[in-house]
Amino acid sequence: DTGVSQNPRHKITKRGQNVTFRCDPISEHNRLYWYRQTLGQGPEFLTYFQNEAQLEKSRLLSDRFSAERPKGSFSTLEIQRTEQGDSAMYLCASSLNPDINGYTFGSGTRLTVV
């Protein structure tokens, strides 16, 4: 088990472009979470999947953001028409039983919108 894997690690894009990030969770974890972290802040919840079902979305997730987990395994987070304010670290986490083990986070994707 290699933990939670995120790709790419870094992404620089021009304002207005679309970007897509991928997260591969720990294989037996049925829960998958996306968080966003800006400089000097703690991670903030974006959205959550249990298996392939997207169960909750934060109000931080504008309609330019969409996340999928088509087969209940890997997940993608797409941002359309990127804005400079989207620059942040996007963290993916997975869990089997969060009350016992919390979440296991990936190394994140650092997005810079120029």
Partner 1 sequence: GQQLNQSPQSMFIQEGEDVSMNCTSSSIFNTWLWYKQDPGEGPVLLIALYKAGELTSNGRLTAQFGITRKDSFLNISASIPSDVGIYFCAGLPRDDKIIFGKGTRLHILP
Q: Is 56 in the site for partner 1 (CB under 8 A)?
A: yes
DSSP strand pairing (75-79 vs 109-113): unpaired
Q: Give the end-to-end CA distance of the chain in Å, rounded to a whole number.
A: 36
Q: Is 28 in the site for partner 1 (CB under 8 A)?
A: no
Q: Is 74 in the site for partner 1 (CB under 8 A)?
A: no
Considering only 13-21, 61-69, 71-79, 101-109, which stretch makes contact with partner 1 by CB under 8 A? Answer: 101-109
Residue 90: which of 14, 2, 23, 15 has the closest Cα? Answer: 23
Residue 64: which of 33, 94, 85, 43 has the closest Cα? Answer: 85
DSSP strand pairing (75-79 vs 53-57): unpaired
Query: Which of 64, 101, 112, 114: binder of partner 1 (CB under 8 A)?
Result: 101
We find the least distance from the C-beta atom of residue 81 to partner 1, in angstroms, to be 27
We find the least distance from the C-beta atom of residue 94 to partner 1, in angstroms, to be 11
Q: Which residues bind partner 1 (CB under 8 A)?
A: 4, 6, 33, 40-45, 48, 56, 91, 93, 98-108, 110
